[in-house]
């Protein structure tokens, strides 16, 4: 009896061990997640990262852990993709799996995940398709928006001319010009540079950019529930977004009253028409909420990005006056002085085209991309990545790849030129990312950058306020976006 008991127990223990072992093996194999540094509770890997220089920290970690690794920003686990091969494999070859948007708590709180930039699933699919077609219908890739940019370039050049060579920080001029392009697409018209409503709008935007870099805003991403109760700049940010919302909702209401369904004037009209078409569908993704969110998303995504790229570009060209001069020679040769630049000129201006590309490559505006997420449990290069994991496809690691671009930290238009002076295309040119969620405004942004930059150099020579050798073209460290140091410049009419 006693013997039987021990044997049974022994057998039971053996069987359970075996079972445990096999399930452990299969889960550990299925669940092998990307490696990474050891994490501490609550703070994650924050102490092992230099938050003032995250790109550098991630580069170091990639040397230790390879091109796919995990870091924890506070409690938020992020899988980092480092290098052209993995970024391309994820965003393009495995595009559907990686087509989710990963939103940090602050983004969730202020942008609500209802517009094209932050939404996911069916909402995103429908909004993205609609946004791309409508942007195309209202000009992206068509002539009308090109003319709109040329017209705006005229206003900008006139405004600069009126400064009569006084040194100035060009930030506002550039923001106003760039913002007016997206405003004409979404709201139907540009604003006068002195329009009160417009200036209020831009002030809110500016203030938000500052608030976003506050310590409290960063803390919000780690401890949202606590921070919701505390006062501070993050609360002001939330208030400002509410004001922007109000602004957009008011314009939508005006559009509703004056809508002529047969003749949509802009993005909002087109959206209102779509809402009407889907009236019978109770599951429609086209609602007043997704309309106002998407309009605001386009306004926010289309203003800061492009205007900061131009501002950074003008700083770099002050440091390298010989490059600006060479562009001006090309402009004089191909366009002359009597007409505005247009997109058809670009193919005959390889040097200017190369400089425009090199500006975007060098500044590496969004080094970590806009965070993505995986749409389901997936397998990627033998690793298991659970649904909804946040992903950073690191654009820096592509744009500053030293095999593709020798001396990647140096500003050199030669990165985009063949030996015979023709333009050299590169698959590594990914400032707008790649794949299913690639920037929806890429065509628009590239047109703006080319036309504004060319129009400015056609009409002015840049005169720095300090010796050009002393100009520091490295970005202000710390932010999730690479911003140039503030500067003043004089525009000398040519
Ligand atoms: C130099 C200028 C710009 C840069 C560097 C830039 C860069 C980016 C990047 C890196 C993303 C994330 C893509 C991804 O998740 O893979 C993005 C998304 C987006 N951008 Fe841009 N962008 C610029 C200008 C614009 C403009 C002018 C618009 C206006 C139409 C715009 C609209 C959007 C939208 C709507 C998305 C979200 C796409 C989605 O989630 O499906 N961007 N942009
Ligand atoms: C973090 O990065 C900043 C900016 O590049 C640098 O000045 C600082 O020395 C770095 N700190 C550490 C601890 O490496
Ligand atoms: C630049 O100046 C020339 C005249 O010198 C003018 O024809 C051209 O339209 C100007 N460009 C812009 C964008 O105003
Ligand atoms: C210039 O060089 C590139 C690559 O080296 C080549 O593809 C192209 O045909 C050349 N163009 C001319 C006009 O020689």
The tens digit of pLDDT for each residue in 343-379 reads: 999 999 999 999 999 999 999 999 999 999 999 999 9
Residue pair 411/316 in contact by the 8 Å Cβ criterion: yes
Give the HSE-up count for residue 267: Cα atoms under 13 Å, Cβ half-sphere: 30
The Cα–Cα gap between 228 and 222 comes to: 12
Query: Is there a domain that residue 426 lies in?
Result: yes
Q: What is the mean pLDDT of residues 114-121?
A: 96
Q: What is the mean pLDDT of residues 270-274?
A: 96
Residue 245: C-alpha distances to residues 3, 197, 236, 289, 465 (Å): 78, 14, 14, 10, 39
Distance 351 CA to ligand 4 centre (A): 14
50: left (phi over 0), alpha (psi -120 to 50) or beta: beta
Number of domains present in the structure of the chain: 1
Residue 60: C-alpha distances to residues 53, 55, 203 (Å): 11, 9, 38
81 lines ligand 1 (CB under 6 A): no
Query: Is there a domain that residue 3 lies in?
Result: no
Per-chain mean pLDDT for the chain:
91
- pLDDT of 63 > 70? The answer is yes
Name the residue at shortest CA distance from atom 1 of ligand 4: 420
Q: What count of other Cβ atoms lies within 10 Å of the Cβ of residue 110?
A: 23
pLDDT value at position 216? Answer: 84
Q: What is the mean pLDDT of residues 457-463?
A: 98
pLDDT (tens digit per residue) in 387-416: 999 999 999 999 999 999 999 999 999 999
**Who lines ligand 3 at CB under 6 A?**
153-154, 157, 337-340, 455, 458-459
Query: Is residue 257 classed exposed, middle or buried when 0-12, 13-18 and 19+ CB atoms within 10 A define those classes?
Result: exposed
pLDDT (tens digit per residue) in 240-271: 999 999 999 999 999 999 999 998 989 999 99
Distance 146 CA to ligand 3 centre (A): 16
Strands (E), 299-448: 372-373, 378-380, 383-385, 390-394
Residue 462: C-alpha distances to residues 163, 249, 310, 318, 336 (Å): 13, 41, 13, 6, 19
CATH code at position 51: 1.10.630.10
Residue pair 331/457 in contact by the 8 Å Cβ criterion: yes
- Which band of pLDDT confidence, cut at 50, 70 and 90, is reported for residue 74? confident
Residue 143: C-alpha distances to residues 306, 340, 444, 479 (Å): 20, 14, 12, 36
Query: Is there a domain that residue 360 lies in?
Result: yes
- pLDDT of 136 > 90? The answer is no
pLDDT value at position 410? Answer: 98
Q: What is the mean pLDDT of residues 403-432?
A: 98
Query: Is there a domain that residue 400 lies in?
Result: yes
Name the residue at shortest CA distance from atom 13 of ligand 2: 50
Q: Specify which residues 242 forms β-bridges with.
A: none
pLDDT value at position 15? Answer: 43
Query: Is there a domain that residue 237 lies in?
Result: yes
- Which band of pLDDT confidence, cut at 50, 70 and 90, is reported for residue 138? confident
CA nearest 155: which of 200, 199, 190? 190
**Who lines ligand 4 at CB under 6 A?**
418, 420, 422
Name, in order, each residue with C-beta under 8 angstroms of 168's C-beta and a sequence gap of 6 or more. Answer: 488, 489, 490
pLDDT value at position 235? Answer: 92
Query: Is there a domain that residue 271 lies in?
Result: yes
365 lines ligand 1 (CB under 6 A): yes
- pLDDT of 57 > 60? The answer is yes
**Who lines ligand 2 at CB under 6 A?**
50, 52-53, 477
Question: Phi/psi at 168 (nearest 5 deg)?
Answer: -150, 155
Judged by DSSP in three states, 118 sits in coil
Query: Is there a domain that residue 265 lies in?
Result: yes
Q: What is the mean pLDDT of residues 204-221?
A: 83
Name, in order, each residue with C-beta under 8 angstroms of 66's C-beta and a sequence gap of 6 or more. Answer: 35
The Cα–Cα gap between 224 and 235 comes to: 12
Which two three-digit tokens encode residue 384?
Answer: 């298991």
pLDDT value at position 16? Answer: 46
Give the ligand with the smallest distance to the CA of 421.
4
Query: Is there a domain that residue 483 lies in?
Result: yes
Name, in order, each residue with C-beta under 8 angstroms of 424's C-beta and a sequence gap of 6 or more. Answer: 354, 415, 416, 417, 418
Do β-strands 378-380 and 372-373 pair in parallel, antiparallel, or remain unpaired? Answer: unpaired
Range of the domain at 201: 28-493
């Amino acid at each position: 009896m006693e013997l039987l008991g021990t044997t049974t127990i022994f057998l039971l223990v053996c069987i359970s061990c075996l079972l445990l072992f096999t399930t452990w093996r299969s889960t550990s194999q299925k669940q092998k997640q990307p490696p990474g540094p050891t994490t501490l509770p609550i703070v994650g890997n924050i102490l092992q990262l230099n938050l003032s220089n995250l790109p550098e920290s991630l580069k170091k970690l990639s040397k230790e852990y390879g091109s796919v690794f995990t870091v924890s920003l506070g409690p938020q686990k992020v899988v980092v993709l480092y290098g052209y091969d993995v970024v391309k494999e994820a965003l393009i070859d495995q595009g559907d799996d990686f087509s989710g948007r990963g939103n940090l708590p602050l983004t969730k709180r202020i942008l609500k995940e209802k517009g094209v930039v932050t939404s996911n699933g069916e909402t995103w699919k429908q909004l993205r398709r609609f946004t791309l077609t409508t942007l195309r219908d209202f000009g992206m890739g068509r002539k009308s928006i090109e003319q709109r940019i040329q017209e705006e370039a005229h206003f900008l050049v006139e405004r600069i001319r009126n400064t009569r060579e006084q040194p100035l920080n060009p930030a506002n001029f550039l923001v106003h010009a760039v913002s007016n392009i997206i405003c004409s697409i979404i709201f139907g018209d540009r604003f006068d540079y002195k329009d009160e409503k417009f200036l209020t709008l831009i002030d809110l935007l500016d203030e938000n950019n500052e608030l976003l870099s506050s310590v409290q805003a960063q803390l919000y991403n780690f401890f949202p529930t606590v921070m919701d109760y505390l006062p501070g700049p993050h609360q002001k940010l939330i208030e400002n977004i509410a004001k922007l919302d109000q602004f957009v909702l008011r314009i939508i209401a005006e559009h509703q009253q004056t809508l002529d369904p047969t003749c949509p004037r802009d993005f909002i009209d087109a959206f209102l028409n779509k809402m009407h078409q889907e009236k019978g569908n109770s599951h429609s993704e086209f609602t007043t909420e997704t309309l106002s969110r998407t309009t605001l998303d386009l306004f926010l995504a289309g203003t800061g990005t492009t205007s900061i790229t131009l501002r950074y570009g003008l700083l770099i060209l002050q440091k390298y006056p010989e490059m600006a001069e060479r562009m001006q020679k090309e402009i004089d040769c191909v366009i002359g002085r009597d007409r505005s630049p247009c997109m058809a000129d670009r193919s005959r201006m390889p040097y200017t085209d190369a400089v425009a590309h090199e500006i975007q490559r060098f500044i590496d505006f969004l080094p970590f991309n806009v965070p993505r997420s995986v749409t389901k449990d997936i397998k990627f290069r033998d690793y298991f990545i659970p649904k909804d994991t946040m992903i950073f496809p690191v654009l820096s690691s592509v744009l500053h790849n030293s095999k593709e671009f020798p001396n990647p930290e140096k500003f050199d238009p030669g990165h985009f030129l063949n030996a015979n002076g023709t333009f050299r295309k590169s698959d590594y040119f990914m400032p707008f990312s790649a794949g299913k969620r690639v920037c929806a405004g890429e065509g628009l942004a590239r047109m703006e950058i080319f036309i504004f930059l060319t129009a400015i150099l056609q009409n002015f020579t840049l005169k720095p306020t300090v010796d050009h050798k002393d100009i520091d073209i490295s970005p202000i460290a710390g932010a999730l976006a690479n911003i140039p140091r503030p500067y003043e410049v004089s525009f000398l009419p040519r």
